[in-house]
Amino acid sequence: MAIIDVTEETFVAEVLARSRDLPVVVDFWATWCGPCRQLTPVLEEAARQREGKVVLAKVDTEANRQVAAQFDIQSIPAVKAFRGGRVVSEFTGAQPPARVSQFFDALVPSEAEQLVAAGDEVSLRRALELDPNRSDGALALARLEHERGEHEQALATLVNASGFAVEGLAARIRLEQAGTPPLHDAFRALDAGEHERAIDALLAVLPDSDGHRDDVRRVVVGVLDDLGVEHPLARDARRRLAAALY
């Protein structure tokens, strides 16, 4: 169902929980609101055109004041899009159909995005055919190639990609090809998911890695990028990396 009415009692299930599977666009409206009467049909048509890919949830702010207050609705119409249980985009006021269509399209995964999410090699290669600049797809494919020992092919796959994780993988491959500094233990730990041991080993060789210093640094930064800034290892590892470099 592309369009549903939501109340305070059903908001968590119908919006927050549902948005973990599909994007949910919430239309905060009221019967007395003239611009709402202009916008709502446009939202409904956009949702119908994307049946199965996005859900439109309608919240009457007069009947559901608590949820309206929770999301700081100051004026209506107010539209908020949820993915993964949180607001990812929003706008207020009546908007033309073209603007609403763009808003919905930004929420719906493209074919390439869906293929990258699938993660298998055939899907990743097709994703890069559709969008050669998808760094996430290139990184995932290069990791598969690297695991098979196809180092040159993995580097070629990363040529048009960008990002710290991409640079980290490319640097690792170059270090493996060079054979120095001795990082076998660090890479084995990394492959085993033992991130702390891997970071310790990488930082230990950094001061004596003449000629490979930048690549060792890129590997560490790539690992930290994969872990995310909130990971408990991240802050200390960044401090230790800075100390080792400067």
For the chain, the domain total comes to: 2
For position 37, which CATH number holds?
3.40.30.10
Q: Give the DSSP per-residue string, 139-175.
A: HHHHHHHHHTT-HHHHHHHTTT--SHHHHHHHHHHHH
| CA separation for the pair 15, 51 (Å, rounded) | 16
- Do residues 45 and 147 share a domain? no
* Strand 24-29 with 3-5, pairing: unpaired
pLDDT digits (tens, 9 = 90+) for 5-49: 999 999 999 999 999 888 999 999 999 999 999 999 999 999 999
- Do residues 154 and 220 share a domain? yes
Find the mean pLDDT for residues 153-182.
92
- Do residues 122 and 179 share a domain? yes
> Structure tokens of 34?
């003239």
Find the mean pLDDT for residues 226-237.
84
pLDDT digits (tens, 9 = 90+) for 135-164: 999 999 999 999 999 999 999 999 999 999
Based on the number of CB atoms within 10 Å of its own CB, is 91 exposed (0-12), middle (13-18) or buried (19 or more)?
middle
Q: Which of 86, 105, 124 is the last residue of a domain?
A: 105
To 10 degrees, the CA torsion angle through 174, 178, 184, 190? Answer: 0
Query: Does pTM top 0.75 for this prediction?
Result: no
Our measurement of the distance from residue 155's CA atom to the centroid of its chain's CA atoms, rounded to an integer in Å, reads: 23
- Do residues 25 and 82 share a domain? yes
* Sequence-distant contacts of 148-154: CB under 8 A, at least 24 apart: 151/176, 151/177
Q: Which of 38, 70, 105 is the last residue of a domain?
A: 105
Q: Which of 81, 105, 129 is the last residue of a domain?
A: 105
Task: Say which range, 45-59, 115-129, 170-184, has the weakest mean pLDDT.
Answer: 170-184
Catalytic residues: 33, 36
- Do residues 153 and 71 share a domain? no
For position 233, which CATH number holds?
1.25.40
Which 8-state DSSP code applies to residue 194? -
Q: Which has the higher per-residue pLDDT, 234 or 177? A: 177
- Do residues 213 and 158 share a domain? yes
- Do residues 125 and 81 share a domain? no
| CA separation for the pair 62, 26 (Å, rounded) | 15
Per-residue pLDDT band at 181 (split at 50, 70, 90): low
| CA separation for the pair 245, 122 (Å, rounded) | 40
- Do residues 216 and 126 share a domain? yes
pLDDT digits (tens, 9 = 90+) for 218-229: 999 999 998 887
Q: What range does the domain containing 23 cover?
A: 3-105
- Do residues 61 and 127 share a domain? no
Three-state secondary-structure class, residue 132: coil
Based on the number of CB atoms within 10 Å of its own CB, is 44 exposed (0-12), middle (13-18) or buried (19 or more)?
middle
- Do residues 131 and 88 share a domain? no
Cβ 215 vs Cβ 183: under 8 Å: no
- Do residues 80 and 141 share a domain? no
- Do residues 209 and 125 share a domain? yes
